[in-house]
A = this chain, B = another copy of it.
């Protein structure tokens, strides 16, 4: 009537050094492999006492299931993927990815999932990368960043059978949950702030038109300007690089002073910083002659001269949220329709009252 299994008679521990397997646990607990699996996964059909005993033995042996074996038998990877397709130098200048990744990681590490990274340059390679990730079943789902107009990746991912979460809402019909940041509100806040300061000739240095969030910021700019009864035509498109930000600024300032913008709203911080440099070279003082605002509130924004007014977005939170949504999607639960993450205007030295007309 030994309710408690006789420990002295219990089979020996597995050879030290090697990790215990489910078979070791089964042997030691005097049950079959299958039952151990059932007990560990909290499935019905295991007597309470037995379950306790199995869990005890597993604990005692320090058993943790092999991710690889599980991956093979349940056809899951327990990993999520992130494909970065921007030009390396632009990625480097923009703190988005590192911050986003740290947010993602904070969620993944808690549930024992891994993040697989892939980076490519051309879009040709990009599709190939997704294909490979899906073909090798390296990941269960992917984060879809830098959404483009009419994004072919949505269709591709469906065809490949990958789960996904999109950062922002695509302009094509998408079966994937989306997590958005309320960039539009941020841009509007900047424009309102500038209008309040008396600016009327406000320009916008936009990102690539085919990048949805860049286009969205631009649309928000135009909307806010129109709402304020102002001319919204001073817009220059760039590739988000500091170089093109500088070039755009040069172009915007190269008109006679009565038409020259008195304020420029940039679509990211590096471009704004480059813009300030160009203004100074043109003999303009920021903010006396020209107000400048950035976007994303980079670490550096606070430490340049003049310090940069910028729209703060909580990118790490965005990453964490996206990770939770994607994990749910992989698990089969569809959560979506979340309210966009808020943005916050951080006013610093680079914006001030519009110059009095000469």
Interface residues of A (CB under 8 A from B): 19, 64, 66-69, 71-72, 77, 79, 84, 88-93, 95, 97-99, 101-102, 105, 109, 112, 114-120, 129, 132, 135-138, 241-243, 245-246, 270, 273-274, 276-278, 280-281, 298-300, 302-305, 307, 316
Q: Give A267 to B134 CA distance when docked, in angstroms.
A: 41
Which single member of B88, B114, B273, B316 contacts A116 (CB below 8 Å)? B114
Q: Contacts A242-B299, A303-B245 hold; do A79 and B116 have CB atoms under 8 A apart?
A: yes
Query: What is the distance, in angstroms, from A118's C-beta to the closest C-beta of chain B?
Result: 6
Chain B: CB-nearest residue to A243: B303
Q: Looking at chain A's contact residues, is the secondary structure mostly helix, strand, loop, or mixed?
A: helix
16 new A-B contacts at CB < 8 Å, known A90-B299, A92-B298, A93-B299? A19-B135, A68-B68, A91-B98, A91-B99, A92-B95, A92-B98, A92-B299, A114-B136, A116-B116, A241-B299, A242-B299, A243-B303, A270-B300, A270-B303, A277-B307, A304-B304
Assess the B299–A276 pair: CB atoms within 8 A.
no
* Interface CB pairs A-B, < 8 A, 12: A19-B135, A68-B71, A79-B116, A84-B98, A92-B95, A93-B299, A98-B98, A114-B116, A115-B116, A270-B300, A280-B305, A304-B304
Assess the B105–A119 pair: CB atoms within 8 A.
yes
Q: Give A298 to B93 CA distance when docked, in angstroms.
A: 7
Q: Give A115 to B120 CA distance when docked, in angstroms.
A: 13
Assess the A105–B91 pair: CB atoms within 8 A.
no
Q: Give A107 to B136 CA distance when docked, in angstroms.
A: 17
Instruction: State the oligomeric state as a number of copies.
Output: 2
Query: What is the distance, in angstroms, from A91's C-beta to the closest C-beta of chain B?
Result: 4
Which single member of B114, B243, B276, B303 contacts A118 (CB below 8 Å)? B114
Assess the A102–B114 pair: CB atoms within 8 A.
no
Assess the B88–A136 pair: CB atoms within 8 A.
no
Hey, which chain B residues are within 8 Å of A69, CB to CB? 72
Query: What is the distance, in angstroms, from A348's C-beta to the closest C-beta of chain B?
Result: 12
Assess the A273–B136 pair: CB atoms within 8 A.
no
Assess the A138–B305 pair: CB atoms within 8 A.
no
Assess the B136–A67 pair: CB atoms within 8 A.
yes
Chain B: CB-nearest residue to A274: B303
Hey, which chain B residues are within 8 Å of A72, CB to CB? 66, 68-69, 71-72
Assess the A304–B316 pair: CB atoms within 8 A.
no
Q: Give A216 to B256 CA distance when docked, in angstroms.
A: 52
Query: What is the distance, in angstroms, from A65's C-beta to the closest C-beta of chain B?
Result: 9
Assess the B117–A105 pair: CB atoms within 8 A.
yes
Hey, which chain B residues are within 8 Å of A303, CB to CB? 242-243, 245-246, 270, 273-274, 277
Q: Give A102 to B118 CA distance when docked, in angstroms.
A: 8
Query: What is the distance, in angstroms, from A300's C-beta to the closest C-beta of chain B?
Result: 5
Query: What is the distance, in angstroms, from A317's C-beta to the closest C-beta of chain B?
Result: 12
